[in-house]
Structure 1
């Protein structure tokens, strides 16, 4: 998907609250206004709503690129509804983004809040699909000790399938190598899931997501879905890893 006229129209259609600065009294928000792009996003909080979805965007970083803020808002209202419709229709429709100048990682999700590193986005402005990975974690919201490698693999599968700027960001699924394991998580596991989807069971990711959400996932889930263990499936993949 490309960010073009359609996403800009979607962005313009979102209602926006008055800007709240950190030192202002937090009064009830009211009214709407058109979003106007600027060189830098002001510090503070803005609330956007569209078609029943809400995004609270808090910027704590001076000089944060406003073009990146606009892409984040566009992408949220474009991609997040697709993820709900496919993976969990009862997921929250209210999400918070925080731009944190003190966070030294890339991004992380806690509950319904996604925190992004201001430094990372400044030095990697094309890597906006970090958002695509992280909002899938909001949809997942798995509980009960689900395997982290599979949770992260599904999130990177989603980045691969729904990302809008992976190529320019230099992000891609890695070629298979004998040093890999399906438990490597992230892109390695994501590529394995794409292979399974294309060659074994078209609904495999949806089915695994459902099992993880319903707390019915176990090592036997792979056998129930495909007739083979995950180790046997990995061997098949390793013998013919072409997508």
Structure 2
């Protein structure tokens, strides 16, 4: 029964990948390590391959990319590869071109039970956003691209509550949770702002985009954002 169920799941996955055009692979290169063994036991390649197309579809929805022409592709094969392996810089996950690298040592530190897959999937949302987002061909600030990746996680079902708080940070391009909350604020000023900004960054990033979309430059928007939360206790930030 289990074999039949797995076969049907893989058939469904194959059909879904065909519809999406992008192919996905997952490889554990650290199966001899404690983290790699935990990946096999508690997360698994089958779960990963089922989850990656769902994450891709979610990212395209957040970015308002309904057609293949609007999305970022990696030709000639248009494949996204995931590798579980040892990362030497302490990162939980990294990307390079069309590859996602998940840290085996990081997997060792994941919380137990259902939270193991939750944590893995949350990180995967972040890393796969880097695969599919536009970055102005490298001209966008690194803090903005990292903020976009965390913004997608924030909007996903796999956001870790308490990770970031609205109003925190000292710069709009500080990155990660700080910038993700700023993007969320800007989305509140204009629905779909984050998707529109991402689209504009297909070829190049310009600070003028903020004024084009919201009528104010980014520094003024940041000042108003900080002022909104300056006297609000952190426990009440929503």
Identify the TM-score tier after normalising by the shorter chain: 0.7 to 0.9
Q: Name structure 1 gaps, 5 residues minimum.
A: 1-8, 17-47
Equivalent residue of 2:95, what SS?
A: strand
Residues matched between the structures, number = 198
What secondary structure is seen at the aligned counterpart in 2 of 1:49? Answer: helix
In the superposition, the TM-score normalised over structure 2's length comes to 0.73
Structure 2 residue 5 is matched with structure 1 residue 14: no
User: SS of the counterpart of 1:127?
Assistant: helix
Q: Residue deviations 1:18-58, cap 9 Å, x none?
A: xxxxxxxxxxxxxxxxxxxxxxxxxxxxxx63421422111
Question: Per the alignment, in what secondary structure is the counterpart of residue 23 of structure 2?
Answer: strand
For 2:194, the equivalent position in structure 1 comes to 205
- Normalized per residue, the structure richer in helix is 2
Q: What secondary structure is seen at the aligned counterpart in 2 of 1:191?
A: helix
Give per-residue Cα distances to partners, 1:94-138, cap 9 Å, x unaligned: 210000035442111111100010110121134221100011111
SS at match of 1:55: strand
Aligned pair partner of 2:185 in 192, 195, 198: 195
Indicate conservation of the 8 Å contact 1:222/1:228, yes or no: yes
More relative contact order in 1 or in 2 (CA 8 Å, sep 6+)? 2
Alignment partner of 1:59 is 2:28: yes
TM-score if structure 1 supplies the norm length? Answer: 0.72
The CA deviation at 1:144 is 4.0
In structure 2, stretches of 5+ residues that fail to align are 32-36, 111-115, 230-236
RMSD value, Cα: 2.6
Runs ≥4 residues deviating over 4 A? 9-12
Q: What are the Cα deviations for residues 70-94 of structure 1, in whole angstroms up to 9, with x where unaligned? A: 4433321222122234434333352
How far residue 172 of structure 1 moved from its aligned partner, in angstroms, is 2.5
- Could you say which residue in structure 2 is the equivalent of 1:153? 147
Q: What does residue 221 of structure 2 align with?
A: 233
Q: Give the 3 Å change call, closer, same or farther, for CA 123–144 of structure 1 in structure 2.
A: closer
Alignment partner of 1:84 is 2:60 = yes
SS of equivalent to 1:181: coil
Change (3 A) 1:54 1:12: farther
Aligned residue number for residue 75 of structure 1: 51
